[in-house]
Amino acid sequence: MMKKILKITGFLLLLIIVIFLLVAAFARKEYSVEREVTMNTPKQVVFDYAKYLKNQNKYSVWAKIDPNMKTEFRGTDGTIGFVSGWDSENKDAGRGEQEITGIDEGKRIDYELRFYEPMKSTDKAYMSFESISDSVTSVKWGIYGKIKYPMNLSLLLMDMDAMLGKDLEGGLSNLKLILEK
């Protein structure tokens, strides 16, 4: 009788694992989050401030998680190839680095985000800038990436837009406060 119960339990457990793996095979593997703010500051002023990753530490919500976070910079800030790294014992900040991978002068900055701890992943991010008028600018900040199979199953359980969106909104609000002074 006990052997039969163990066999049934083992079979049900195996069935559950197979179902999860099948669902993961067909679940989305990519995510994308974007937020936007309009500020009363000329586009070139906003772009010239935002292109420096060292300035991002003044407005990014993530940079403010741990005031004792170790930071490291490599290269020439505001240029392609510049890397801003961080290392924190706070698991919400973790350890990683961000590299400027593209600059379309006055219009867009592209980044690669490399997270090492608490989870290893590589994602992409960008900031884009558009003039609404001579003194008003729309700034979009986005992040997107892929989660490998079978971990992509987590996208069914997590709302990446809500999780990351509030941090992007907070960073954009901080940027607006700094530049509208």
More confident residue, 58 or 156: 58
Please give the mean pLDDT across all residues of the chain. Answer: 89
Q: How far from each other are the two terminal CA atoms of the chain, in whole angstroms?
A: 77
| Cis bond before residue 118 (omega within 30° of 0) | yes
What are the domain boundaries of the chain? 30-179
To the nearest whole percent, how much of the chain has pLDDT over 70?
93
10 Å CB burial of residue 112 (0-12, 13-18, 19+) is middle
Give the model's pLDDT for residue 93. 86
Cα–Cα distance, 27 to 94 (Å, whole number): 27
Check pLDDT > 90 for residue 10. Answer: no
Architecture of domain 30-179: 2-Layer Sandwich (3.30)
14-17: list long-range contacts, CB under 8 Å, 24+ apart. Answer: none
The percent of residues above 90 in pLDDT, for the chain, comes to: 60
Lowest mean pLDDT among 40-44, 156-160, 173-177: 156-160
